[in-house]
Structure 1
């Protein structure tokens, strides 16, 4: 997920007055001061109000203001900056927020697995966050997190006001009639997610047209593999690499494996659709034709894919639409191959239609409260500080050092300095009161020629990424125990079948793979789960419109 690299100045959310009767004595209740790391205590309920409206007692008033929160470890903190747990920004957070905040990093590509282990061992942080609403739903059904409605109502000012200004978020945050997470709204550049980039200079050298269909994409890929596009006289180029390769195949066929689709008004699981078989067939063809890197299925951190792209040995990259990640990749490429001309590529059409690549729903990050949390009042105060003002510096750095204000937009002063000293801090800005227009991208970029070129490419990448609508038949996925359990069981099975279809030769066709997936789905009770999902859809569809 790409972090926003702009800040268009806007007024903070209006304050919401908290009325208290003068002279009321708030009695401090005894309570645990654990920081979410001790599974032997239960979080106390938020205090009840008396008939007069005065809080009868606050069990958290005398507790230390300590909060722990998960963070994605993307390997972006340089050794001289410190670690994700201890660096200039973690110190700044404590100083500015007045909260003792401890960071619990989890590897980005194994985040949910790591969080599950921490939860099971009663070592999970107080605040747990993910981009994935379905994962939050799993934590609800497991009883690992608690409702936040009362805490927001009693302790929040800034976030409560923000939520009143953004009521469209409430359905995404609600499970079984209760709010189990908080979130702020995405801006357009974070709604757009995946993208495809292609070497225009390779197309020009080989006299090829920009591909618009899957068949044309395969022909271009073959030419990139066999036509010596880098001109070194060696057969050493790879046609297609990237971090979201199969996601792109699936999205262009409208069959993301873990998404539910409406087929003639009936809820169907993506991995069981004929269209998912088509996506597996694409993946198999690209692999068997040698058009992708042979190691891409085991390249879990995508380091090899990035290396091939940035050293000028790959012609197509499937990953981010732009933003800091892709801008950094292209910056590195241009250092190695100054004459390279990477440009965004529109998703190609398939026999199933023309659809956009993956795009996010409105909520940015879902932040949930561990049921073992020690001090939810302190957690709310920290989140209020973030949404009110704290997010800005975490995203853009220090004014005059990392950015300067240009007509309300934060313009990076030195892109390398920003990358090293600030870019990782965006992981801490889990709530943001932000605004954006595509024109902000060149405005916020450093003024040097290369930074402006990269910003222009990102702006074009954003336009391309949002040009075609990603197929999402329902705004968010159903979340109940049976759905969560079968999805958890199906995920590794689907990955295993995909790998066999892709790499094990003619005996393992896409049709064979789809049939295996369907049989496993049925074995695990898929028919009953579909019926329950249908009931869920019928009960909730009125709120989707």
Structure 2
């Protein structure tokens, strides 16, 4: 997890304040018809011709920079797949990368400085809502209705998506539906060979998990005679603590029919207490709070020095990590670990809602027609190649499922490309994981583990009391202000000894919530819930 120092928090607040000012300016411009060619109506039409027909077919789109493009492949902005997208779609696509771990902050700065891409996307629906209240993006109903064919058809076939894409009666984003392997998100893995060596059973409760972690720390599970093993590492440690206690920091919960914000619950205090216990007892890597890119966590896991890994359920990066582990420790036996029960119950780790990626239209976009044409091309056929590579080179079809021909070649030449496919008309069955994997023994072994990881990740339901989060200005403002405050409090509770307890931290969060107007926001959230609950399924 990442924590900002106080000075960085202040700087971030200043940037957000500037962004708010700029967004307000954008909103005022929009009311006057900003971004619409001269001589047209706000609906983008006039009596004589389509106002966008003669404009260059150029569209820019954001991209999460995960550092996955090798130097001989190029950059996120310029590589074989960007060239291919331009050629095949007929659209001059320009990629605007933003660092994955600071994506929203970076996008906020780009929007505030009027340098944001035409298409802005995120996995987080709440962020789209914030952009709406800030006046940074625009409704797209008219564009889909007038210019779309493929996506319009897709939406008609998946009407359940419309509620997620609609804010205040207008459609502000497009998205396709997640397949099961994309609904599953977070997961845990444990070294079964370490359990076996130490005569331990798979933990099923939090107390048992802590005892296993202590054994992994003290009993030399790797057998090298050194006290150099780390019980638990990963990129989603606090999220896992919070999910298992049903108190995620960005979720609303229904408590006896009342809307309550996750970080204000007693259960969130339990999560902070667990984080403190794990840290103070040396059961996690001491540097995990500052391991911003999780490089150290990945290194500890792949070099065989960590016993429990908390990150993704299986595919993609996890498969790579396990392969790398086997290169260093051929006899390692990592297996999926089911979430353990806590005093608050038993809940699954984080799972996604139905929509995959939310793609929004910048208010200052010059050619929405070209944007719709590009998205139509993606959902119609472009996504298939971006996800799988070139048929005959990177995959072959087996029972209509693309099977990798060479896992190393795919990793180097294709693995970074799927994220360009922000819309996908994909189908999936868990059995596909074995079919899709390259036929070599290692790839098949990893695919079997990945399938088991998916089954384990979906075995317990993540507690999500409402299908999607409410969206209104007061809530978005308070969430923005509260997030760095919570991170600062967590850092103090975790690292600064007995003077900063979890009950103290929870009380500080509640006081800040109240100071920022949390009671009013709770009332608004309750009104929102009462008005919308009949439509929830």
TM-score (norm. length: structure 2): 0.93
Distance apart, 1:43 and its partner CA = 3.2
Cross-structure match for 2:462: 470
Q: What SS is found at the alignment partner of 2:397?
A: strand
1:68 aligns with 2:60: yes
Q: What SS is found at the alignment partner of 1:367?
A: strand
1:181 aligns with 2:137: no
- Cα offsets for 1:347-379 (capped at 9, x unmatched): 000000000000000000000000000100000
Distance apart, 1:56 and its partner CA = 4.9
Q: What SS is found at the alignment partner of 2:316?
A: helix
Stretches of 4+ aligned residues off by more than 6 angstroms: none
- Return the alpha-carbon distance in structure 1 between the equivalents of residues 151 and 399 of structure 2: 27
The aligned runs of 1:331-410 (5 Å cut-off) are 331-410=323-402
Give the unaligned 5+ runs of structure 2. Answer: 1-32
Candidates 135, 158, 176, aligned match of 1:143:
135
Higher helix share: 2
- Return the alpha-carbon distance in structure 1 between the equivalents of residues 520 and 482 of structure 2: 15
Cross-structure match for 2:4: none
Distance apart, 1:380 and its partner CA = 0.1
- Cα offsets for 1:149-189 (capped at 9, x unmatched): 00000000000000000000000000010000000000000
Answer yes or no: is the 8 Å Cα contact 1:199–1:343 preserved in 2: yes
1:101 aligns with 2:93: yes
The aligned runs of 1:23-102 (5 Å cut-off) are 42-44=35-37, 45-48=42-45, 56-102=48-94
Cross-structure match for 2:410: 418
Cross-structure match for 1:433: 425
Cross-structure match for 1:270: 262
The aligned runs of 1:1-40 (5 Å cut-off) are none
- Cα offsets for 1:268-305 (capped at 9, x unmatched): 00000000000000000000000000000000100000
- Return the alpha-carbon distance in structure 1 between the equivalents of residues 36 and 218 of structure 2: 63
Cross-structure match for 2:223: 231
Cross-structure match for 1:300: 292
- Return the alpha-carbon distance in structure 2 between the equivalents of residues 56 and 301 of structure 1: 53
- Return the alpha-carbon distance in structure 2 between the equivalents of residues 267 and 234 of structure 1: 50
Cross-structure match for 2:18: none
- Return the alpha-carbon distance in structure 1 between the equivalents of residues 45 and 167 of structure 2: 22
- Return the alpha-carbon distance in structure 2 between the equivalents of residues 99 and 389 of structure 1: 14
- Return the alpha-carbon distance in structure 1 between the equivalents of residues 437 and 44 of structure 2: 48
Candidates 447, 456, 459, aligned match of 2:448:
456
Q: What SS is found at the alignment partner of 2:102?
A: helix
Candidates 244, 257, 260, aligned match of 1:252:
244
- Return the alpha-carbon distance in structure 2 between the equivalents of residues 503 and 260 of structure 1: 27
Paired residues in the alignment total: 502
- Return the alpha-carbon distance in structure 1 between the equivalents of residues 494 and 204 of structure 2: 24
Distance apart, 1:258 and its partner CA = 1.3
Q: What SS is found at the alignment partner of 1:146?
A: coil
Q: What SS is found at the alignment partner of 1:323?
A: coil
- Return the alpha-carbon distance in structure 2 between the equivalents of residues 353 and 48 of structure 1: 56
TM-score (norm. length: structure 1): 0.91
Answer yes or no: is the 8 Å Cα contact 1:47–1:56 preserved in 2: no
Answer yes or no: is the 8 Å Cα contact 1:46–1:58 preserved in 2: no
Cross-structure match for 1:14: none
1:508 aligns with 2:508: no
- Cα offsets for 1:195-237 (capped at 9, x unmatched): 0000000000000000000000000000000000000000000
- Return the alpha-carbon distance in structure 2 between the equivalents of residues 526 and 91 of structure 1: 48
Cross-structure match for 2:302: 310
Distance apart, 1:48 and its partner CA = 4.4
1:446 aligns with 2:438: yes
Give the unaligned 5+ runs of structure 1. Answer: 1-39, 50-54
- Return the alpha-carbon distance in structure 1 between the equivalents of residues 43 and 75 of structure 2: 35
Answer yes or no: is the 8 Å Cα contact 1:200–1:343 preserved in 2: yes
Answer yes or no: is the 8 Å Cα contact 1:260–1:270 preserved in 2: yes
- Return the alpha-carbon distance in structure 2 between the equivalents of residues 328 and 63 of structure 1: 43
Answer yes or no: is the 8 Å Cα contact 1:43–1:371 preserved in 2: no
Q: What SS is found at the alignment partner of 1:300?
A: coil
Answer yes or no: is the 8 Å Cα contact 1:197–1:316 preserved in 2: yes
Q: What SS is found at the alignment partner of 1:451?
A: helix
- Return the alpha-carbon distance in structure 2 between the equivalents of residues 207 and 377 of structure 1: 63
Distance apart, 1:306 and its partner CA = 0.1
- Return the alpha-carbon distance in structure 1 between the equivalents of residues 386 and 481 of structure 2: 37
- Return the alpha-carbon distance in structure 1 between the equivalents of residues 36 and 454 of structure 2: 43
- Return the alpha-carbon distance in structure 2 between the equivalents of residues 57 and 91 of structure 1: 31
Answer yes or no: is the 8 Å Cα contact 2:36–2:44 preserved in 1: no
The aligned runs of 1:207-246 (5 Å cut-off) are 207-246=199-238
Answer yes or no: is the 8 Å Cα contact 1:47–1:57 preserved in 2: no
Answer yes or no: is the 8 Å Cα contact 2:59–2:94 preserved in 1: yes
